[in-house]
Amino acid sequence: MSYAKLDAHCRSLGALEHALAILGTDEATHMAPGGGEQRAEAMASLSGMHHRQATTPEVGDWIEAAKAEALDPEQKTAVSELERSYINMTCLPSDFVERKMRTSMRSEQLWRAARPNGDWKTFEPALQEVVEMTREEASMRADVLGLAPYDALMEQFDPGNRTETVTPVFEELKSFLVEFLPRALDAQEQRHAKCPLKALSGDYPVERQKALGIAMMKAVGFDMNHGSLSISDHPFCGGVPSDVRMTTRYRTDEFLSALMGILHETGHGLYEQNLPKQWAHWPSGKARGMSIHESQSLFVEKQIGRNPAFWTFALPLVDRYLQENWSMEDLLPHVHLIKRGKIRVDADEVTYPLHVILRYELEQELLAGRLEVKDLPEAWDIRMQASLGISTLDDPKNGPMQDVHWPSGAFGYFPSYTLGALMAAQQWAAIVKINPDVDRQIAAGDFEAVNAWRRDNIWSKASTASTPEILRQATGEVLNPAYFIAHLEARYGG
C-alpha cells in the first residue's frame, strides 16, 4: 500500500529533520567557536542526505499511487501537502542543497565574527556569494512552480502568499505609519510631560530574569517538560515540537527587553507544542509557515504581553522574582514606549513594520539584480531616512549587518513578521467578538479561553490549508490591515 510507504518515508525524514534542528540550535547556543567548520560540514552532509531521500523518484510514484487509494479526508490532505512539499524540494538538486547549506553556514559564522565591529568589508564578499546563490535558487524554483522568482522564495516560508496581495497591503500600512508615527510620538511626549517616565534601570541578575521568564512561559501555557530557555546573540525558537529550544538575550541593567523577547518566543513555542501530534511526521502536521508562526508569537507579545490587563497579572511576578516594586503607572509607559531606532528586534510595534517593509523592498531589488551587495549600505540608509528619519550609513553593524536572515540565506522570510502582526490583530479582534470578557480573564492569569480559540482555529490546522485560507477560516475574512491600524490608533493615538 503506497500510503503506508509514504508514512514510513515521512517518519524517516522526520528523524533527519529532528537531528538537523537540534544541531542547528546547538550551533547558535552552545557550540565551541572552533567547532564551526566541522559543524557546517556535518549539517551540509545531513541536509544533502535528507534532500536525496525526500526527492527520490519513487516518492513521486508512491504519491500518485496513494492518491488512487481509499483514503480518509485527513489522509488525502496529508498526501496533498506531501506532494506540494515534494514538488518544492525537487526544484533543487541535492548538490545545490549541500552547497547552499555550506555557503550559508559559513556566511552566518563570518557574520557573527564581523558584526560586533561592523566590519562590512570583511562580510560583504560572503553576503555577495549568498545573494548569487539565492538568485540561482529563485530561478530554479520559479521555473518549476510557475511563479515569479521572489514569490517562489516566499512560498517556502508562506505558502499561498504572493507579492501581488502583500505589496498593496504593505504600501497602505507604510503610508499610514509614516503619517502616524510623528502623531503618536507627539501624543507620547504630551503624556510624559504630565507624568515623567521613570527610569527602567536597576540591577537585574540574569538568573532572576530567567526565573521570571520561565514563570511567564508556564503561565501562558508553555510546557517546560517539552521545552527549554537558553541564551543566544539573536533570540529565536528552534528545536522540534517535542523539544522546543527557546533563546533570548539579557541586559542586567533592565529586564523588559528580555522578558518581551521571551514572551515573543513563547508564542512560537506554543504553536509548535500544540501542533497535531498524530501528524507530526507528515508535512500537513507541521507549522504552516512563518507569517502564521509570527502571528502566534506576536499575539503573545503584543496582544497579550502589551495589554494593560496582562500587567495586572504580571506585576506581582515581577516583584517576586526581581524584587522590584513597579506600579502599573510606572511600567506601562515603558511597555508602550515608541521611539525611532535602528534595530528591528528592539523596535516597538509602531515602528517595527517600517523595518520589515524596508527589508522586503531591498531583498526584492537584490534578487532582481537592481541592487548589488556593495551598494546595500547606501540603499539601506536612504530608506531608513525616508521612513524613520535615521541614518545608518556609517553604522553597518546596526544597518544591513544587524539580522541573521540574509547571511543564512533566508530571503523571502522578512514579510512574515509584519504579516504576522496584521494576522495577530485580526485574530484578537475575532476573539474579542465572541469573548468580550477576555481582558478580565487575562488580568486574572487565565489564558485558557484565548489558547482554546487558537488551538481550535490555528494550532490544530497545522498545514492543512494555505496561509490565506487558514486566516480566512479562523477570522471569517481575508487579510485586512484595518484591524492592525485600529489597534495602533487605540493604543498609541492619544
pLDDT at 442: 98
CA pair distance 445, 438, nearest whole angstrom: 11
Domain termination site, one of 90, 106, 131: 90
pLDDT at 193: 93
pLDDT at 1: 85
CA pair distance 281, 260, nearest whole angstrom: 31
DSSP string, 165-201: HHHHHHHHHHHHHHHHHHHHHHHHHHHHHHSPPPP--
Domain that includes residue 51, residue range? 1-90
pLDDT at 33: 87
Cell of 461: 490546522
Nearest CA to 305 out of 330, 324, 326, 332 is that of: 332
Residue 52 is assigned to a structural domain of this protein: yes
Between helices 57-67 and 2-29, what is the axis angle to 10°?
130
SS3 of 444, please?
coil
- Per the structure, how many domains does the chain have? 2
pLDDT at 324: 82
Nearest CA to 313 out of 427, 221, 219, 417 is that of: 219
Say if residues 197 and 188 touch (Cβ distance below 8 Å): no
CA pair distance 264, 295, nearest whole angstrom: 10
Residue 473 is assigned to a structural domain of this protein: yes
Q: List binding-site positions.
A: 264, 268, 294
Q: What is the CATH number of the domain that holds 398?
A: 1.10.1370.30
Residue with cell 499511487: 65
Residue 144 is assigned to a structural domain of this protein: no
Q: List binding-site positions for Zn(2+).
A: 264, 268, 294
Same domain, residue pair 199 and 68: no
Cell of 444: 486574572
pLDDT at 199: 86
SS3 of 450, please?
helix
Sign of the CA dihedral running 140, 145, 146, 150:
negative
- Measured at the CA of 294, the angle between CA 438 and CA 233, to 5 degrees, comes to 120
Which pTM value belongs to this model?
0.92
pLDDT at 246: 95
CA pair distance 278, 249, nearest whole angstrom: 34
Same domain, residue pair 55 and 173: no
Burial class (CB in 10 A: 0-12, 13-18, 19+), 19: middle
Say if residues 185 and 489 touch (Cβ distance below 8 Å): no
Tens digit of each residue's pLDDT, the chain (494 residues): 899 999 999 999 999 999 999 999 998 888 998 998 899 899 989 998 998 999 999 999 999 999 999 999 999 999 999 999 999 989 988 889 889 989 998 999 999 999 999 999 999 999 999 999 999 999 999 999 999 999 999 999 999 999 999 999 999 999 999 999 999 999 999 999 999 998 888 899 999 999 999 999 999 999 999 999 999 877 889 999 999 999 999 999 999 989 999 999 999 999 999 999 999 999 999 999 999 999 999 999 999 999 999 999 999 999 999 988 889 999 999 999 999 999 998 899 999 999 999 999 999 999 999 999 999 999 999 999 999 999 999 999 999 999 999 999 999 999 999 999 999 999 999 999 999 999 999 999 999 999 999 999 999 999 999 999 999 999 999 999 999 999 999 999 97
Same domain, residue pair 308 and 174: yes
Residue 363 is assigned to a structural domain of this protein: yes
Active-site residue 265, yes or no?
Answer: yes
Residue 206 is assigned to a structural domain of this protein: yes
Residue with cell 497535531: 276
Domain termination site, one of 38, 72, 90: 90
Strand order in the sheet with 237-240: 227-231, 243-248, 237-240
- Measured at the CA of 406, the angle between CA 30 and CA 149, to 5 degrees, comes to 135
Residue 320 is assigned to a structural domain of this protein: yes
- Which of 27, 81, 124, 265 is an active site residue? 265
Domain termination site, one of 90, 105, 125: 90
Q: Residue 113 half-sphere exposure, CB side, CA atoms within 13 Å?
A: 14
Same domain, residue pair 447 and 346: yes
Same domain, residue pair 305 and 388: yes
Residue 107 is assigned to a structural domain of this protein: no
pLDDT at 291: 95
CA pair distance 394, 396, nearest whole angstrom: 6
List phi, psi (to 5°) of 239: 80, -150
Cell of 20: 538537523
